[in-house]
Amino acid sequence: MQLYNTQTGQVERFAPRDGAVGIYVCGITPYDTTHLGHAFTFLTFDILVRHLRAQDLDVTYVQNVTDIDDDILRKAKELGESWDEVGRRETEKYLRDMADLNALPPDHYVRATAHIAEMLALIAPLIDKGHAYEANGSVYFSVESDPEFGKLSHIPREEMLPIANERGNTPDDPNKRDPLDFVLWQAAAPGEPSWDSPYGAGRPGWHIECSAMASRYLGQTIDIHGGGADLVFPHHECEVAQSELAFGVEPFSRVWMHVAMVDYQGEKMSKSLGNLVLVRDLLREYHPDAIRLALFSHHYRASWEFVDGEVEAWANLAGDLREAADFPAYGIEEVVDVGPFRERFLNALDDDLDTPTAIEALREIGQAILEAPEEDDVRDAQETLRELGDLLGLSLAS
- For residues 249 and 297, membership in a common domain is answered with no
Mean pLDDT across the stretch 182-200? 96
pLDDT at residue 329 in the model: 83
Whether 204 and 335 share a structural domain: no
- 397 — pLDDT class (breaks 50, 70, 90): confident
Instruction: Give the residue ranges of DSSP H helices in the chain.
Output: 36-54, 70-79, 83-100, 116-128, 157-166, 206-218, 237-247, 279-285, 288-296, 310-326, 339-350, 355-370, 379-391
Other Cβ atoms closer than 10 A to 185: 25
d(CA 209, CA 194): 15
Residues 293 and 359 in one domain: yes
Task: Indicate if 222 and 308 belong to the same structural domain.
Answer: no
The whole-number pLDDT of residue 331 equals 76
Look at residues 230, 263, 296 and tell me which one is the last residue of a structural domain.
263
Weakest mean pLDDT among 157-171, 226-240, 256-270, 362-376 = 256-270
172 shares a domain with 44: yes
Find the CATH number of the domain harbouring 384.
1.20.120
277 part of a folded domain: no
Residue 351, in any domain of the structure:
yes
The pLDDT of 356-367, averaged and rounded, is: 98
User: For position 80, what pLDDT does the model report?
Assistant: 93
The domain total for the chain is: 2
Q: What element of type H or E holds 109?
A: strand 108-111
Same structural domain for residues 294 and 240? no
Q: Are 24 and 106 in contact (CB under 8 A)?
A: no
In this structure, are 300 and 244 located in the same domain? no
List pLDDT tens digits, range 243-295.
Answer: 999 999 999 999 999 999 999 988 877 766 778 899 999 999 999 999 999 99
Specify the pLDDT at position 274. 74
Q: Is the pLDDT of residue 322 over 90?
A: yes
Residues 125 and 33 in one domain: yes
* Structural domain ending residue among the three candidates 214, 230, 263: 263
Residue 10: pLDDT band with limits 50, 70, 90: very high
170 and 119 in a common domain: yes
Q: DSSP 3-state assignment of 139?
A: strand
- Among left, alpha and beta (phi > 0; psi -120 to 50; other), residue 46 is alpha
- Domain CATH code at residue 223: 3.40.50.620
- Does 38 share its domain with 133? yes
User: How many Å apart are CA 62 and CA 73, to the nearest integer?
Assistant: 25
| pLDDT, tens digit, 9 for 90 and up, residues 66-100 | 999 988 999 999 999 999 999 999 999 999 999 99
How much is the pTM? 0.96
Q: Does the residue 104 lie in any domain?
A: yes
Q: Are residues 259 and 295 in the same domain?
A: no
**Residue 281 forms part of a structural domain:** no
Is 252 a domain residue? yes
CB atoms within 10 A of CB 300: 24
Query: How many helices (H) and strands (E) in the chain?
Result: 13, 14
Residue 276 lies in a domain: no
pLDDT at 398 over 80: no
Residues present in the chain in total: 398
Please indicate, yes or no, whether residues 155 and 46 belong to a single structural domain of this protein: yes
Domain final position from 229, 263, 297: 263
CA angle 323, 325, 326 (to 5 degrees): 65
Instruction: Give percent of the chain with pLDDT exceeding 70.
Output: 99
State the residue range of the domain holding 86.
2-263
Long-range contacts of the stretch 277-282 (C-beta < 8 A, 24+): 277/35, 277/36, 277/306, 278/34, 278/35, 278/36, 279/34, 279/35, 279/36, 279/38, 279/39, 279/97, 279/100, 279/101, 280/34, 280/93, 280/97, 282/36, 282/311
pLDDT digits (tens, 9 = 90+) for 125-179: 999 999 999 999 999 999 999 999 999 999 999 999 999 999 989 999 999 999 9
